Amino acid sequence: MWNVRCPACGKPAFRWVIKVLLGPVHVVPCASCGAGVGLPAFPLLAGAILMIVFVFLSGLPDTPLQDGRTAGIVFAVILLGWGSWFVRLSPVPKSLD
């Protein structure tokens, strides 16, 4: 479920807690083979852009997001969708430099 397998050796590279804290900028060595493993930046950027668009649209007059119930549902869909994408995200090889 957490998809923490090393792209080089296929064995678990780190624990799921490390994946949550890792982010796209940091690189950790694989626990099995020592290769550099990190996360891609695209999902983080996509989530940030979706949240910015949500906030911008909810501030405009006469949009469905002015209703609190609709805004809450849209917010929950964005947050849960992004979270499930992050959980299933595959680690990528990166340089340890």
Reading the block at residue 35, the tokens are: 């290769």
Where are the domains positioned within the chain? 16-93
Beta carbons of 70 and 64 less than 8 angstroms apart? yes
Q: What is the spatial distance between Cα 81 and Cα 50, in angstroms, rounded to a whole number?
A: 11
**Predicted local confidence at residue 1, as pLDDT:** 63
Q: What is the spatial distance between Cα 46 and Cα 38, in angstroms, rounded to a whole number?
A: 17
What's the mean pLDDT when you consider all of the chain? 88
pLDDT tens-place string over residues 38-60:
989 888 889 889 999 999 998 89
Q: Per DSSP, what are the bridge partners of residue 5?
A: 12
**Predicted local confidence at residue 95, as pLDDT:** 86
**Predicted local confidence at residue 41, as pLDDT:** 87
Extract the residue ranges of the chain whose pLDDT is less than 70: 1
**Predicted local confidence at residue 20, as pLDDT:** 80
